[in-house]
Amino acid sequence: MPPSIHPVDLIAALREKSLTPAIVFLTSRRACDEAMEAFDHARTVLPPARQEAIAAALERVIAQYPSIAEHPLIPTVQRIGVAAHHAGHLPSWKIAIEELMRQGCLDAVFATTTLAAGVDFPARTVVITQSSIRKARDFMDLTIGEVQQIAGRAGRRGKDYVGFAVVTPSPYIDLHVLTKGFTGSPEAIDSQFTISYPMVLNLLKAHPHEQIQAILAKSFAQFQLNQRATVLEGKLDVLHTQMEPFGPRVCTDWITQWHTFDQARRQKPHRHQIARNESPEVTARFHFMTPGRVVGFNKGRGIVLRQYRSKGQKSPMVTVLRAGGAVTESPAGIVTDVFDRLFECTEQPNYPWCTTESFDELLYQLTELPTRLPLLPILVSKESELIPDAIVQTLGDFPCPTCSSRPACQKDYLMASRLRQEQQRHIKSIQALRTSLWHRFQERIDVLQKFGYLSPTSHLTDDGEWARLIRIDHSLLITELIRAEAFAGADPAVLTGVMASIAHDDDRPGAFPRVSTGLSSLLGQVRKLAESLSPYEDPPLLRADIAAVAERWVSDPGLTWIGLCRSTTMAEGDIYRLLARTLEFLSQLHTLKDTHPGLADSASKAIDLIRRGVLEELP
Amino acid sequence: MTTDELTQLLVQQPIAVLHRLARGRVHRHFRTGKRRLIELLLQHSSQNLAGLESDLQALIGERQTRAQAAPARPAAPRPAAQHPSAPPPGRRPHRPHEPESTEPAVSLAAWLEGLGVPTPQPFVPDPWQGEALAGLAETDVVVSVPTGSGKTYVAVEAARRAMEENRTVIYTSPLKALSNTKFTEFSKIFGSDRVGILTGDRQDNSQAPLLIMTTEILRNLLYDAASGEIDVRLDTLGLVILDESQYLADPERGVVWEETIIFCPSQAKLLLLSASIGNPQDIADWLTSIRPSPCRLVRHSKRTVPLRAGYLHPDGKLTPLFRTAGIPYGHPGQLHPEAKRLFVQYEEDTLPSGRPRR
């Protein structure tokens, strides 16, 4: 059996059941292009009347956007009535296809699932061939929301009584993901609030430092953190009532008393052996890796079954249930994320560390986990508290042996101390939830003060005043470059090349051999600076081939679009997007005309030079 | 009947029967699993086991007569999940497994029925569209409806009404391509002199009463206004439409939507248009907590054009994907037997080891 249906057969099957027009979502751009090639020798051609209708509609679009007049796909589109629509194409081509689709001229469009949100035209049928998409260099299952977004393109209002979503398998499809997506209700969305350097500068420009916390409190992020804090506060109230029987006794703070006693008893024999060289992060997190907790690793996630310290080194260890039922022992240090999700887990003293029922239950829960989980905010305390020697030495003077409530204390201590630990954990979590945004903001302020964009009193310095106008990704790198006068005397072409390499964030391979010496030496400097800034800002890819493409377009005004496309292996649409994004970055530099006239002038020249040919077509 | 026999009988019953039995007997019985439910039932009626038994017999009798009556009715495509029988007790299956329903699965012909082009009808706004527009007259509105239900109509009408009151309207979309599409579309509706576009690198007709931009540009405008470089036009701003606001959850760009909403001037109304999401109420509550007037939420999950799901085998054979013609919402396990058979066959043929994954 073929691993997946041949595109020609697919369209034939849809036509036979009158399920056209259809949008076929395929795994990759390449799959779309290959599907189009498959029609080169297809014998079923459209009746002449429809071919003419397509030609006429195309004429009208071409009159508006002449750049697509020579598009290599046009003959296939006209003859067969199918087209490809993906990010590798020029926007004008995509507009043309959308227009043809709206007029009902086409039978099928091949699109990539990755950009399903950008496919803004409906059809009678959508065809789904995969259950996962590539996100951030990893394949992730489609969420329910994404499946419904895709299925939402099926059924044209006013033109169809019903819409159809047809699943056709390809290797690595998981039908379960898709049926869940069709029948489920979409996931809740979570805030993705991040605090960027320009945000800090702009907030501090407009508002005094004291007001910022109130502004951050207005974010959806804080709203959701507060929701979680409220849940924890409810739990805290329950704990509070549970703690009631363990109120003050002969000594008011008998729990602490016993706790210290217990700690000391445990630590005393090997107090000198423990060389705690674990990082404070691990120590802080280790408390939360209790049985039933969902944790994340570099690859995949798992549920903690037990936590313990290793026999020799006393290093923190966890036993984790991984996908597929594997039970692994790992050092706590390799856990990358501790999630805010805790399942019931009935512990047991020997392998597999929990009862069979809860093992099955946890394994089931692990497969059913949503793709995104909220992280547990954990405050890291810098130093771990050691019990002062004085207390240990006075252990002999402990009043308990003669105390009247000693038996009661001894009986209740374990329960009370467990409850109190839980209480303290919740209090810490709530505190972290309420203040984490503010802490993140403070961290950004510290960095900006270090670099001199903010004064020690958190007012904008002269550099901060102009730096706040750069509101794009990698803003710190760009402003530092400007301050280092890296662009002094750089001509528009070199400036464009550098900005393009900063703007481009796609690692799709491309090739362009010739880079001018001026550009390559400047890029070397930029790389060095980006490297030194990496603790504060993720460095961009800074690809030389990308810089060269952009430089060439600006430095040679006689170069045609086709000439530029021939000189690289990048797809047309990618080049277009690269130049459009570079334009955006350059126009941000242009706003610095008051403080850096030379740079702004160079940027505005570059903008004028970029904006020709295809880049002038769209508003 | 002894307690043991009664327990045996209860175990054999589908969970739905047990839940009906538990009504009025067990508090919050819908939260429990089968085994626990039986335990609770016996515990609660330990004084009156005979009463429990007679109720049980009555329910079983009723069920049998209904089962006999069922085949006599025409097999209308109806969600078959109404009488799910019990899953086998014991280990919980790793996939939610739906038992075979008593109704026959839908045939391909019935699945394809109703295909065609409706006769053109005069456009009548859906109730939710009216509700959203009425809400917008007073306060901010969050709309969460399935893709393709006609969010654009709400945007256009809202913009028209705001512009009639000489107010400026800003419409933002997440992608530049969508902005361009909307620019063309709105120019046709309102006339090209009344619509402008601002994107990262270009400004066209930026004094028009209806401005289309990407959300980043609006965020930048709001920052400039906040830091004193006052854009006069923000005073006349009457309405801000944020299309595709489910982008709030985008890992890289979501923050821009939050900033825009936080800094949106209070005299301007906010209209958030979003595809179906799980927690629109949270968004509305959030807006209520930071905006001057309580936010109105308009949501519905019913598609305007109903959806049907099918399965196309690589050899060209088409079958319905689910037992019912429509989508059996909430029951992902109700696969059409034919689709199930073909897919299992596909997995066996294509997986190198012949073993199913997982």
Mind listing the pLDDT tens digit for each residue in B100-125? 455 788 888 888 888 888 888 888 88
Q: What is the mean pLDDT of chain A?
A: 87
B121 CB within 8 Å of a chain A CB:
yes
Q: Residues A285-304: what's their mean pLDDT?
A: 88
Parallel, antiparallel, or unpaired for β B202-204 and B195-199?
Answer: antiparallel
pLDDT in tens, A20-46: 899 999 988 888 999 999 988 888 888
Q: Chain B residue with minimal CA distance to A208?
A: B227
A342: phi then psi, degrees, rounded to nearest 5: -130, 125
Q: Which CATH superfamily is domain B127-299 in?
A: P-loop containing nucleotide triphosphate hydrolases (3.40.50.300)
Q: Do B117 and A17 touch (CB under 8 A)?
A: no
CATH 1.10.3380.30 residue spans of chain A: 471-616
Q: Do B305 and A163 touch (CB under 8 A)?
A: yes
Contacts with B153 from chain A: Cβ below 8 Å = none
A477: phi then psi, degrees, rounded to nearest 5: -60, -45
The confidence score (pLDDT) of residue B75 equals 42
Q: Residues A548-576: what's their mean pLDDT?
A: 90
The identity of residue A401, as a single letter, is P
Residue carrying the six token digits 């042996």: A401
A171 CB within 8 Å of a chain B CB:
yes
Cα B355–chain centre separation:
35
Q: Do A360 and B91 touch (CB under 8 A)?
A: yes
A10 CB within 8 Å of a chain B CB:
yes
The confidence score (pLDDT) of residue A570 equals 87
A65 CB within 8 Å of a chain B CB:
no
Residue A106 to residue B23: CA distance in whole angstroms: 57
Between chain A and chain B, how many beta carbons pairs sit less than 8 Å apart?
263
The confidence score (pLDDT) of residue A414 equals 85
Residue B68 scores a pLDDT above 90? no
A12 CB within 8 Å of a chain B CB:
yes
Give the pLDDT band (50/70/90) at residue A417: confident
Residue A65 to residue A536: CA distance in whole angstroms: 43
**At a CB cut-off of 8 Å and minimum separation 6, what does B121 contact?**
A158
Beta bridge partners of A165: A126, B309
DSSP output for A237-280: HHHHHHHGGG---SSTTHHHHHHHHHHHHHHSTTTTT----S-H
Give the pLDDT band (50/70/90) at residue A170: confident
A152 CB within 8 Å of a chain B CB:
yes
Q: Are A105 and A50 in contact (CB under 8 A)?
A: yes
Q: Are A395 and A261 in contact (CB under 8 A)?
A: yes
Give the pLDDT band (50/70/90) at residue B93: very low
Residue B94 scores a pLDDT above 80? no
Residue A254 to residue A241: CA distance in whole angstroms: 18
Q: Which of B116, B219, B227 sits opposite A161 (nearest CB)?
A: B116
Residue carrying the six token digits 């159809």: A164
Range in B22-26, B60-64, B65-69, B305-309 the model is least confident about: B65-69
Mutate to test the interface with B, among A157, A170, A322, A496 (most CBs of B within 10 A): A157
Q: Which of B201, B321, B329 sits opposite A167 (nearest CB)?
A: B321
The confidence score (pLDDT) of residue A528 equals 94
Residue A268 to residue A19: CA distance in whole angstroms: 78
Length of chain A: 619
pLDDT in tens, B227-247: 776 665 678 899 999 999 999
Q: Are A32 and A26 in contact (CB under 8 A)?
A: yes
Q: Which of A162, A180, A183 sits opposite B115 (nearest CB)?
A: A162
- Cis geometry, peptide bond prior to residue A374 (ω within 30 degrees of 0): no
Q: Are A54 and A78 in contact (CB under 8 A)?
A: yes
B311 CB within 8 Å of a chain A CB:
yes
The confidence score (pLDDT) of residue A512 equals 67
Spell out the CATH class of A471-616: mainly alpha
The confidence score (pLDDT) of residue A526 equals 94
Give the pLDDT band (50/70/90) at residue A402: confident
Q: What is the mean pLDDT of chain B?
A: 82
**At a CB cut-off of 8 Å and minimum separation 6, what does A326 contact?**
none
Structure-token pair, residue B61 = 């009798």
DSSP output for B189-250: HH-GGGEEEEETTEEESTTSSEEEEEHHHHHHHHHHHHTT---GGGTTEEEEEETTGGGGG-
The confidence score (pLDDT) of residue A383 equals 56
The identity of residue A248, as a single letter, is P
Question: What does DSSP assign to residue B172?
Answer: E
The confidence score (pLDDT) of residue B87 equals 45
The confidence score (pLDDT) of residue B91 equals 46
The confidence score (pLDDT) of residue A393 equals 56
pLDDT in tens, A113-138: 876 666 678 899 999 998 888 776 77
Q: Do B250 and A192 touch (CB under 8 A)?
A: yes
Residue B281 scores a pLDDT above 60? yes
- Edge-to-edge strand order for the sheet containing B141-144? B202-204, B195-199, B210-214, B168-173, B237-242, B269-274, B141-144, B296-299
Contacts with A223 from chain B: Cβ below 8 Å = 282, 285-286, 289
CA angle A100, A102, A104 (to 5 degrees): 70
Q: Residues B160-189: what's their mean pLDDT?
A: 90
Q: Do B228 and A12 touch (CB under 8 A)?
A: no
Residue A590 scores a pLDDT above 80? yes
Contacts with A191 from chain B: Cβ below 8 Å = 248-249, 254, 258
Give the pLDDT band (50/70/90) at residue B129: very high
Domain residue ranges in chain B: 3-73, 127-299
How many CB atoms within 10 Å of residue A264?
Answer: 17
Percentage above 70 pLDDT, chain B:
86
Residue A475 to residue A364: CA distance in whole angstroms: 44
Q: What is each CA distance from A51 to A9, A75, A109, A314, B263, in whole angstroms?
A: 21, 10, 16, 76, 52
- Three-state secondary structure readout of A464-527: HHHHCCCCCCCHHHHHHHHHCCCCCCCCHHHHHHHHHHHHCCCCCCCCCCCCCHHHHHHHHHHH
Mutate to test the interface with B, among A173, A179, A473 (most CBs of B within 10 A): A179
The confidence score (pLDDT) of residue B348 equals 82
Q: Do B290 and A162 touch (CB under 8 A)?
A: no
Residue A270 scores a pLDDT above 60? no
Q: Which of B254, B279, B330 sits opposite A188 (nearest CB)?
A: B279
Mutate to test the interface with B, among A9, A220, A224, A590 (most CBs of B within 10 A): A220
B203 CB within 8 Å of a chain A CB:
no
B176 CB within 8 Å of a chain A CB:
yes
Q: Which of B197, B246, B314 sits opposite A189 (nearest CB)?
A: B246
Residue A318 to residue A328: CA distance in whole angstroms: 8
Q: Residues A534-544: what's their mean pLDDT?
A: 91
Q: Chain B residue with minimal CA distance to A173?
A: B347
Residue A503 to residue B201: CA distance in whole angstroms: 14
A402 CB within 8 Å of a chain B CB:
no
CATH 3.40.50.300 residue spans of chain A: 7-183
The confidence score (pLDDT) of residue B101 equals 53
Q: Is the ipTM of this complex over 0.85?
A: no
Q: Residues B315-332: what's their mean pLDDT?
A: 90
Percentage above 70 pLDDT, chain A:
93
Structure-token pair, residue B222 = 């709001």
The confidence score (pLDDT) of residue A68 equals 87
pLDDT in tens, B39-53: 888 887 777 777 788
The span from the first CA to the last CA of chain A, in angstroms, equals 48
Q: Residues B285-305: what's their mean pLDDT?
A: 91
pLDDT in tens, A85-106: 988 898 889 888 988 998 889 9
The confidence score (pLDDT) of residue B85 equals 45
On the CB side of A391, CA atoms within 13 Å amount to 15
Q: Does domain A7-183 have CATH number 3.40.50.300?
A: yes
Q: How far is A423 from chain B (nearest CA, A)?
A: 27
Residue A83 to residue A76: CA distance in whole angstroms: 8
Beta bridge partners of A610: none
Question: What does DSSP assign to residue B107?
Answer: P
The confidence score (pLDDT) of residue A455 equals 94
The span from the first CA to the last CA of chain B, in angstroms, equals 45
Structure-model confidence comparison of residues B178 and A16, the more confident one: A16
Contacts with B357 from chain A: Cβ below 8 Å = 174
